[in-house]
Amino acid sequence: MVEGVGLAVALDGCGWHPAAWREPEARPRELFSGRYWTELVQEAEHGRLDFVTIEDTLALQSSGRAAGGQPDEPDGRVDEVRGRLDAVLIAARVAPLTRGVGLVPTIVVTHTEPFHISKAIATLDFASAGRAGVRVRIAASGDVAAHFGRRDLPGRWSAESAAELFDEAADYVEVVRRLWDSWEDDAEIRDVATGRFIDREKLHYIDFAGRWFTVRGPSIVPRPPQGQPLVTALAHDTVPYRFAARAADLVHVTPRDARDAARISALVRAEWAAAGRPETEARLFADLVVFLDEDGGRAAERRQRLDERSGPEREFRSDAQIFVGTPSELADLLAEWADSGIDGFQLRPAVLPTDLRAITRGLVPELRRRGLFRDEYRAATLRGRLGLDRPANRYAPTGGVR
């Protein structure tokens, strides 16, 4: 398992509070610059965090989603951040400017193609020397579907349509994984003397044929350094738990307290076992939104100020638990939840860069003092850091391209 507790941050705009962009330390004018994102990820690396996830959608941000409401539901607000850069391209920009932290962009699988995403994430794994991952999510909104014009979806979220989209997403991830394996590790010969660059027998058709995808392969990108870059998914209920246990290497969950963490851990691990996957491969990270300050009163005042800026009756809500307090108090909570079956934590800074620095320069030293977090990176790859082996290539024992 992971050494101590795993620790990651989720980066989104100026922070997870909708009014974060109005804080003095926020940098809204730089949101669409490479420098802004590079400096945030470098700060995460300063704290030796395991990885960062970079939020992305196929729709403008909405106040409903920020408050834990219906995903991708449009609104007409103009007082909150709207617009974002592509998460995969942000990660590619940051990769050569960092050396240790994992890079996990978000991909919406509902309206994209697995062949494209497989080669994009494989390329990111090469660019980062084995630090890439991908967080997969669905888009169940008819408004998003209208951007593409290929399919009709209900105007609003429904459990039935979502269940079907999760089944589609599971097939999507399976195609991506097969494409990553479609080149054997030693398929590239690069022998100048004989003039052979690749061994054609070590490239494989994946011949995937399912309800949603028919993909022959092979990929055009060699097998990534990690073999299989990390796949993560956020899950809140039984159907997404089942999807994540079937398709992901790491599952993000959103407990409310230690008892809830134990309940969710048992549910996800049961789904993991039902999917026929070894228990030793299960990784559960709990998500929390954090307002952090060495003075807990200041953290509470900051949240109140931001809520007031959002307007009357606009108290900030989230799908994840909201923590307001000191790094020491947060360390107490993380230690308690870790005893309830949680392997690691993904923290969502309410304000960037304020709460990110509080994590790397306040929480991380506190966790180290308690022996709960390492001082340095001890594995070269993201999978290695999380205690996950490099998978064997499923096609290696068979013949080559037919």
Banded model confidence at residue 145, pLDDT cuts 50, 70, 90:
confident
The burial of 121, by beta-carbon neighbours within 10 Å (0-12 exposed, 13-18 middle, 19 or more buried), is given as: buried
* Per-residue pLDDT tens over the stretch 362-394: 999 999 999 999 999 999 999 999 999 999 999
**pLDDT for residue 399:** 46
Higher-pLDDT residue of 251 and 145 is 251
Pick from 357, 360, 322, 251: nearest CA to 16: 322
**pLDDT for residue 3:** 64
Instruction: Look up residue 131 and give its DSSP letter.
Output: -
What is the 3-class SS of 284-330, one letter each residue? EEEEEEEEECCCHHHHHHHHHHHHHHHCCCCCCCCCCEEEEECHHHH
Residues listed for the chain = 402
Does the annotation flag 110 for ligand binding?
no
Is the pLDDT at 251 greater than 70? The verdict is yes
Banded model confidence at residue 69, pLDDT cuts 50, 70, 90:
very low
CA 303, CA 291: separation in Å to the nearest integer?
7
Confidence (pTM): 0.94
Q: Does residue 398 lie in a domain region?
A: no
Q: Does residue 296 lie in a domain region?
A: yes
**pLDDT for residue 161:** 75
CA 211, CA 31: separation in Å to the nearest integer?
39
Decide if 134 contacts 229 (C-beta within 8 A): yes
Decide if 132 contacts 121 (C-beta within 8 A): yes
> Is the backbone peptide bond immediately before 312 cis, with ω within 30 degrees of 0?
no
Helix or strand run (H / E) with residue 266: helix 258-274
Is the pLDDT at 13 greater than 50? The verdict is yes
**Mean per-residue pLDDT, 284-309:** 97
* Per-residue pLDDT tens over the stretch 309-349: 988 778 999 999 999 999 999 999 999 999 999 999 999 99
CA 292, CA 222: separation in Å to the nearest integer?
43
**Mean per-residue pLDDT, 119-123:** 98
CA 179, CA 181: separation in Å to the nearest integer?
5
**pLDDT for residue 155:** 56
Q: Does residue 391 lie in a domain region?
A: no
Q: Does residue 394 lie in a domain region?
A: no
Decide if 215 contacts 176 (C-beta within 8 A): no
CA 68, CA 167: separation in Å to the nearest integer?
23
Q: Does residue 98 lie in a domain region?
A: yes
Is the pLDDT at 78 greater than 90? The verdict is no
Strands 188-191 and 196-198, bridge-based pairing: antiparallel
Q: Does residue 337 lie in a domain region?
A: yes
**Mean per-residue pLDDT, 352-368:** 98
Residue 136 sits at φ, ψ, to 5 deg, of: -100, 140
Tokens (6 digits) for 155: 């105007």
Mean pLDDT estimate for the chain: 92
Is the pLDDT at 137 greater than 80? The verdict is yes
Decide if 125 contacts 96 (C-beta within 8 A): no
CA 147, CA 117: separation in Å to the nearest integer?
19
**Mean per-residue pLDDT, 259-273:** 96
Longest CA–CA separation in the chain, Å: 74
Residue 223 sits at φ, ψ, to 5 deg, of: -55, 135
Does the annotation flag 56 for ligand binding?
yes
Q: Does residue 284 lie in a domain region?
A: yes
**Mean per-residue pLDDT, 297-304:** 97
CA 271, CA 248: separation in Å to the nearest integer?
12
Q: Does residue 270 lie in a domain region?
A: yes
Q: Which domain holds residue 260?
A: 6-385
**Mean per-residue pLDDT, 131-157:** 81
Taking the CB of residue 2, how many other CB atoms lie within 10 A of it? Answer: 18
**pLDDT for residue 303:** 97
**pLDDT for residue 398:** 58
**pLDDT for residue 397:** 81
Pick from 1, 5, 4, 8: nearest CA to 347: 8
Residue that the structure tokens 């290696």 belong to: 396
* CATH number of the structural domain spanning residue 86: 3.20.20.30
Whole-angstrom Cα Rg for the chain: 21
